[in-house]
Structure 1
């Protein structure tokens, strides 16, 4: 079982803008005083630059174009609707925002098959949308694939029972906690686990300050340590620069890289950077428009493909 992969699926945006349906509980989103067409153009430029940086390091990036007619402003974040697993299983997930549900596309799964990836079965949780229960893929769930542990911060987009069902289906031990951020002097749930923590092979980058309950904080730390991961803590301020929204990938010759946005990179201290660099090099790319309007960053843009190949 591997924690990291060389193959990443990414969706090139065509109607990217601030999604009014997700803004209700994604406090990372902000309004840019620009026309949607200009926002989309900026997002496309950032996307293309990011893909080219990844490919330059030997990461196998499969790029699929979004469909204009679908009107899916958040399609650039595919890791919320799908996950690909090493046993040939695919997970399909229930999404909080109605306009995000159209991001799920069968043609993308067919495309992967034409590229020689093997799909054995699809585990589909999307019917939970009817009852208004949500679990947004590897946005809601941080997977320690090697140690078979799954971490989840409960929020309007991550239902506890559904998460436990996922863990039973995929054979993971559930580690459940609550993570909060301060918004107008109130502590409110963080919308996705993957903005406050990143699990790499030998380390974890995590904002422990968001876990207000001492027992929960202790439990998360204990599990990370037991799994042999060095804990690199970030502040809430750094989290707001998307320093928790990172992903470790494999490049050319199985070289390991930690991928993040340039704003995340700039927010890190020299000590944090040197700790990461003990384990792997860093790839960063400017994603300012995507982060500001979309409220997501580098990790959200990459759906890891672990499927077996013919």
Structure 2
């Protein structure tokens, strides 16, 4: 059964030329420069994540990276998203070398294995200097139909309005910054929205009225809102994703992020989902964590007879 907020199937891209990306370093404060050849370590971490997800009953469609000039290819959630009813969006990217990550063979697999009605391709708007980096720039509440967005270079307001009109989301936009006043580059490092819980770095939302609004809208849907500190956000505790496993929902989160949570927060999370900590220290040097690695599939599977 397909869960509205917690997909049972995902797409992931195995990195072969992983390294820190100089084109994204300027506005990604979470990124650290790579020391030496880290591609092999990143690939091993990736394979460990895939194995752990499959062990828990999550379907993983894994693709190998095909280009040497795509250091961030392990983060596919930025260039496409999928939506109930058979809808797919393809997004324009901010950094030039990230635009090469788009894979039409991935979209072809979706059309073959799942019921896809249409693909709306916004990527041509890169020529106009516009970017909207998928479920990195937007944290989507598929239940409440809200798109939470931290203002950044990666989320053009005009394109956001267009996406929300096409896909029936209400945009809630806010400014968010770290202790040094640097804007949060992607909303999905700040917050994660599951079925019954939400992890949110509320103190990093600058305007008190917007902060209260975000909390109120999440609580309206009956979620337990777990407030994360700026330190926990820096440890990637907001960069998690709920998935539907064989024995119920799991929260995929990095081991580093898990270590930053308090016992009380863990207890509240475990009241709703099983926590699945995943060790990806090398991949996290690129400025993203577990959520960034996973493109959830909110699509209905085709019947077996349709595939023959």
Q: TM-score, normalised by structure 2?
A: 0.95
Q: Aligned runs of 1:38-187 on 2, under 5 Å?
A: 38-69=37-68, 71-114=69-112, 116-183=113-180, 187=181
Deviation at residue 230 of structure 1 after TM alignment: 1.1
* 1:158-307 alignment runs, 5 A limit: 158-183=155-180, 187-253=181-247, 255-292=248-285, 294-307=286-299
- Once the two structures are superposed, what CA deviation does each residue of 1:33-68 show, in whole Å capped at 9, x if it has no partner? 22xxx3100100110111111111111111011103
The offset of 1:16, in angstroms, is 0.6
Counterpart-to-counterpart distance in 2, 1:297 and 1:283: 13
2:271 match: secondary structure: helix
Q: Size of the alignment, in residue pairs?
A: 300
Q: CA deviation at 1:203?
A: 1.2
Counterparts of 1:103 and 1:33, CA distance in 2? 23
Taking the aligned partners of 1:233 and 1:309, their CA distance within structure 2 comes to 35
Task: Quote the Cα distance in structure 1 between the aligned partners of 2:67 and 2:133.
Answer: 23
Deviation at 1:211, TM superposition (A): 0.5
Q: Is contact 2:203-2:229 (8 Å) kept? A: yes
In 2, Cα distance between equivalents of 1:95 and 1:76: 15
CA distance in 2 between counterparts of 1:92 and 1:279 reads 32
CA distance in 1, matches of 2:251, 2:27: 28
Q: Distance in 2 between matches of 1:166 and 1:297?
A: 25
Quote the Cα distance in structure 1 between the aligned partners of 2:52 and 2:301.
25
The CA deviation string for residues 153-198 of structure 1, in whole angstroms up to 9 with x for no partner, is 1111111221111111101111111111133xxx121000000000
Task: State the alpha-carbon separation in 2 of the partners of residues 265 and 94 from structure 1.
Answer: 32
Distance 2:301 2:254 in 1: 30
Root-mean-square deviation over aligned CA pairs? 1.1
TM-score where L is the length of structure 1? 0.94
* 1:193-242 alpha-carbon deviations (Å, 9 max, x no partner): 00000000011100001111111111111111112111101111111110
Give the Cα–Cα distance (whole angstroms) in 1 for the partners of residues 110 and 81 of structure 2: 13
Kindly provide the CA deviation profile for residues 264-292 of structure 1, in whole angstroms up to 9, marking residues without a partner as x: 00110100100100101100111101101
Q: Answer whether contact 2:192 2:240 (CA < 8 A) is retained.
A: yes
Partner Cα separation in structure 1 for residue 299 and residue 201 of structure 2: 30
Shift of 1:118: 1.9
The answer for unaligned runs of 5 or more in structure 1 is none
Alignment of 1:30 with 2:32, yes or no, is yes
Q: What is the alpha-carbon distance in structure 1 between the residues aligned to residue 99 and residue 159 of structure 2?
A: 17
Unaligned runs of 5+ in 2: 303-308
**Deviation, structure 1 residue 32:** 3.1
